[in-house]
Amino acid sequence: MIYCGIDWAEKTYDVALVDDSGQLLAKRHITDNAAGYKILLDLLAEYGDTQENPIPIAIETSRGLLVAVLRTGKRQVFAINPMAAARYRDRHSVSRKKSDPGDALVLANILRTDMHAHRPLPQDSDLARAVAVLARAQQDATWNRQQIANQLRSLLREYYPSALAAFEPWKNGLCRAEAREVLKAAPTPSRAARLTRAQLQASLKRAGRKRGMEVEADRLREVFRADWAHQPPLVEDALGKQMLALLGQLEAAAKAADDLAQAVEETFPQHPDAEIILSFPGLATQLGARVLAELGDDRTRFADARGLKAYAGASPITRASGKKSSITRRWVKNDRLNHAGYLWAFSAITASPGAKAHYRRRRDHGDWHAAAQRNLFNRMIGQLYHCIKQRRHYDEALAFPTPQDELGMAAA
- Compute the half-sphere exposure of residue 324: CA atoms within 13 Å on the CB side of its CA: 2
Residue 382 has a CB neighbour count (10 Å cut-off) of: 19
Which stretches does DSSP call E strand in 311-404? 317-321, 324-328
Q: List the chain domain ranges.
A: 3-117, 130-266, 275-411
Q: Is the pLDDT of residue 93 over 80?
A: no
Cα(99)–Cα(7) distance, integer angstroms: 10
Choose the weakest-confidence range: 172-176, 241-245, 395-399.
172-176
Mean pLDDT for the chain?
90
Per-residue pLDDT of 350-384, as tens digits, reads 999 999 999 999 999 999 999 999 999 999 999 99
Residue range 90-108: mean pLDDT, rounded: 81
At residue 271 the predicted structure's pLDDT band, cuts being 50, 70 and 90, is very high
Provide the percentage of residues in the chain whose pLDDT is more than 90: 68
Per-residue pLDDT of 30-72, as tens digits, reads 998 999 999 999 999 999 888 888 999 999 888 888 898 888 8
* CB neighbour class for 257 (10 Å; exposed up to 12, middle 13-18, buried from 19): buried
Cα(160)–Cα(228) distance, integer angstroms: 9
pLDDT at 315: 87
Given the DSSP bridges, would you call strands 77-79 and 317-321 parallel, antiparallel or unpaired? unpaired
pLDDT at 406: 52
Residue range 183-202: mean pLDDT, rounded: 93
For residue 99, what is the DSSP state?
-
The answer to whether the beta carbons of residues 329 and 342 sit under 8 Å apart is no
Provide the percentage of residues in the chain whose pLDDT is more than 70: 97
Cα(283)–Cα(279) distance, integer angstroms: 8
Residues listed for the chain: 412
Distance from chain centroid for Cα 25: 40
User: What is the model's pTM?
Assistant: 0.85
At residue 410 the predicted structure's pLDDT band, cuts being 50, 70 and 90, is very low
Cα(340)–Cα(287) distance, integer angstroms: 7
Q: Which uninterrupted H or E stretch holds 13?
A: strand 12-18
Residue range 104-115: mean pLDDT, rounded: 91
Q: What is the CATH number of domain 3-117?
A: 3.30.420.40
Q: Is the pLDDT of residue 95 over 80?
A: no
Cα(305)–Cα(384) distance, integer angstroms: 9
Q: Is the pLDDT of residue 150 over 60?
A: yes
Rounded to 5 degrees, what are φ and ψ at 125? -70, 160
Q: For 314-352, where are the alpha helices, taking DSSP H only? A: 335-351
At residue 171 the predicted structure's pLDDT band, cuts being 50, 70 and 90, is confident
